[in-house]
């Protein structure tokens, strides 16, 4: 009789739905304020938000049933849930870019939404020392954490799992809210609780800034909410000129305008806007020029040069800022500056003059001067596809700095918002 009774109970649950979950045909509205069960990007950079047997793809759009994307997690049809999730981030690891979904005492590994052979497995088998029935998980690459790691949360206990050695360090972060979901986005780590989130340091758990904040203001588009994504849309699709632009040695692009900067890590993740003061407190706003050289970002504002290490936390080099005269051997207002590849020459644009300075020389001084075909240039950058100079809402492309210097016929203009930043206008 017992197996029959259990079968009847399961049928009733399937027919009526779980008492603590919405009816399975109901669409969940995250703009009403939802406590997410898990959040992770997939290998294409699309962020998935999980709640019960539903999920959302990206920062806007309606909910869908979990089994529409991860069928194997719903073995009892609409009784599925995800406790925690993360995307593996270790480029030399066989599971790089796989997403791991945790359910009770099991872990599922997916790539391109296909379940990997042999999964699901016991959590203990894949992540020894990590408890079952987790609350949250998030990746933490080396440089942000001491080693390539995964951070697991259960109640107020935190487990740092070393991907290579499988060593586990347990900590107690009682000052941080109990995280029902965790998410790494553009080298920042977030703990989600209720319909709010708190940014935390992945090693110490410390919270810096005014938190918690409402998730609907930043991680989704909701009517009647002044969402933080507006800053990205406004800065990305504005026709106002750029102040400065560059790419660093890791291939990340930075575009500066007023008190905001936009950053592009990969095209799949897109451009995102932040306040300059959040990262470069000494500079704050209104840069004149920026360029990257030897794993450092050089920022020029007025007659001052600030040099930061191009790492996760952008540390100002000791002894800076210094004057333009001290650092580059030039004086006067700088409109733009750029370096091409590993060439130690920085091309500094001042009005219609481009002055070349050898960064490997001591002391530094102008080695060559050229006359440009533009009365005013707002910003410039150099990359694998050549030199781009930015004038108002448009940019012009040249194959080399020499062609920029000696060409007297302007190439075809390109729209910054449309062709560089991916807007529709």
List pLDDT tens digits, range 196-226: 999 999 999 999 778 999 998 888 878 776 5
Residues 253 and 382 in one domain: yes
Enter the tokens of residue 208.
């810096």
In this prediction, residue 6 has a pLDDT band, given cuts at 50, 70 and 90, of very low
Instruction: Kindly state the average pLDDT of the residues 288-295.
Output: 95
At 2 the pLDDT is: 42
| Nearest of 296, 397, 384 to residue 340 by alpha carbon | 384
Residues 291 and 361 in one domain: yes
**Across 9-13, 334-338, 388-392, least confident range:** 9-13
Residues 151 and 283 in one domain: no
| Nearest of 281, 280, 285 to residue 297 by alpha carbon | 280
Residues 249 and 223 in one domain: no
Whether 2 maps to a domain, the answer reads no
Residues 209 and 307 in one domain: no
Residues 235 and 337 in one domain: yes
List pLDDT tens digits, range 161-192: 999 999 999 999 988 999 999 999 878 899 99
Enter the tokens of residue 264.
């592009």
The percentage of the chain sitting over the pLDDT mark of 70, rounded to a whole number, equals 88
What is the maximal distance between C-alpha atoms in the chain?
93
The partner residues of 339 in beta bridges, in order of sequence, read 346
Residues 164 and 235 in one domain: no
Side-chain half-sphere CA neighbours of 42 within 13 A: 17
Name the pTM for this structure: 0.62
Q: Residue 233 above 70 pLDDT? A: no
Q: Residue 269 above 70 pLDDT? A: no
Whether 1 maps to a domain, the answer reads no
Residues 175 and 281 in one domain: no
| Nearest of 185, 27, 219, 41 to residue 113 by alpha carbon | 41
In this prediction, residue 336 has a pLDDT band, given cuts at 50, 70 and 90, of very high
Q: Where are the alpha helices (DSSP H) in 255-395?
A: 276-279, 324-328
How many structural domains is the chain composed of?
2
Phi-psi region of 76 (alpha: psi -120 to 50; beta: other; left: phi over 0): alpha
Whether 352 maps to a domain, the answer reads yes
Whether 94 maps to a domain, the answer reads yes
At 94 the pLDDT is: 77
Residues 139 and 159 in one domain: yes
Containing structural domain, residue 296: 230-420
Residues 237 and 217 in one domain: no
Whether 380 maps to a domain, the answer reads yes
At 25 the pLDDT is: 47
Instruction: Kindly state the average pLDDT of the residues 30-39.
Output: 93
Last residue of a domain, one of 202, 227, 252: 227
The percentage of the chain sitting over the pLDDT mark of 90, rounded to a whole number, equals 60
Element (H, E) at 15: helix 2-16
Residues 385 and 320 in one domain: yes
Residues 200 and 326 in one domain: no
Last residue of a domain, one of 227, 260, 280: 227
**Across 2-16, 47-61, 393-407, least confident range:** 2-16
| Nearest of 47, 331, 377 to residue 185 by alpha carbon | 47
Whether 425 maps to a domain, the answer reads no
Last residue of a domain, one of 180, 209, 227: 227
Whether 11 maps to a domain, the answer reads no
Burial of residue 371 (CB within 10 Å: 0-12, 13-18, 19+) is exposed
More confident residue, 72 or 369: 369
* Contacting residues for 210 by C-beta, under 8 A, at least 6 apart: none
More confident residue, 355 or 20: 355
* CA torsion, ordered 53, 57, 108, 160, to nearest 10 deg: -110
At 59 the pLDDT is: 82
Whether 10 maps to a domain, the answer reads no
Instruction: Kindly state the average pLDDT of the residues 337-360.
Output: 96
CATH number of 296's domain: 2.110.10.10
DSSP assignment of 220-279: S--TT---THHHHHHHHH--SPPSEEEE-TTS-EEEEETTEEEEES-TTT-EEEEEHHHH
Rounded CA separation 135/23 (Å):
24
Q: Residue 401 above 90 pLDDT? A: yes
In this prediction, residue 311 has a pLDDT band, given cuts at 50, 70 and 90, of low
At 79 the pLDDT is: 61
At 188 the pLDDT is: 87
Enter the tokens of residue 376.
């005013």
Q: Residue 255 above 80 pLDDT? A: yes
């Amino acid at each position: 009789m017992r197996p029959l009774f259990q079968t009847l109970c399961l049928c009733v649950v399937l027919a009526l739905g779980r008492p603590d979950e919405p009816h399975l045909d109901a669409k969940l509205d995250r703009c009403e304020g939802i406590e997410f069960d898990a959040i992770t990007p997939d290998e294409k950079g699309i962020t998935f938000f999980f709640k019960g047997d539903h999920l959302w793809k990206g920062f806007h759009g309606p909910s869908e049933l979990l089994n529409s994307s991860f069928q194997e997690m719903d073995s009892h049809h609409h009784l599925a849930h995800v406790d925690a999730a993360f995307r593996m981030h270790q480029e030399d690891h066989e599971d790089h870019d796989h997403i791991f979904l945790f359910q009770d005492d099991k872990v599922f590994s997916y790539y391109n939404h296909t379940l990997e052979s042999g999964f699901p497995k016991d959590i203990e088998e894949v992540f020894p020392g990590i408890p079952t029935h987790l609350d949250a998980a998030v990746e933490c690459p080396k440089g942000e954490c001491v080693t390539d790691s995964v951070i697991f949360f259960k109640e107020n206990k935190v487990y740092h799992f070393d991907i290579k050695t499988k060593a586990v360090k347990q900590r107690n972060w009682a000052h941080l809210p109990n995280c029902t979901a965790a998410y790494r986005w553009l080298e920042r780590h977030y703990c989600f609780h209720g319909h709010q989130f708190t940014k935390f340091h992945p090693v110490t758990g410390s919270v810096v800034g005014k938190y918690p904040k409402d998730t609907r203001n930043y991680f989704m588009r909701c009517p009647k909410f002044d969402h933080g994504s507006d800053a990205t849309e406004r800065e990305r699709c504005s026709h106002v000129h750029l102040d400065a632009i560059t790419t660093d040695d890791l291939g990340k692009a930075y575009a500066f305008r007023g008190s905001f900067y936009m950053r592009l890590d990969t095209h799949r993740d897109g451009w995102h806007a932040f306040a300059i003061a959040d990262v470069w407190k000494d500079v704050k706003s209104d840069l004149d020029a920026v360029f990257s050289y030897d794993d450092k970002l050089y920022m020029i504002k007025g007659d001052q040069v600030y040099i930061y290490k191009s790492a996760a936390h952008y540390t100002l080099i000791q002894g800076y800022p210094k004057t333009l005269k001290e650092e580059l051997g030039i004086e006067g207002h700088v409109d733009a500056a750029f370096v091409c590849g590993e060439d130690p020459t920085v091309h500094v644009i001042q009005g219609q003059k481009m002055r070349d300075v050898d960064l490997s020389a001591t002391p530094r001084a102008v080695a060559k001067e050229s006359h440009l075909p533009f009365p005013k240039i707002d910003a410039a950058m150099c990359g694998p596809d050549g030199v781009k100079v930015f004038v108002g809402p448009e940019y012009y492309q040249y194959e080399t700095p020499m062609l920029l210097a000696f060409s007297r016929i302007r190439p075809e203009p390109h729209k910054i918002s449309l062709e560089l930043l991916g807007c529709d206008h």
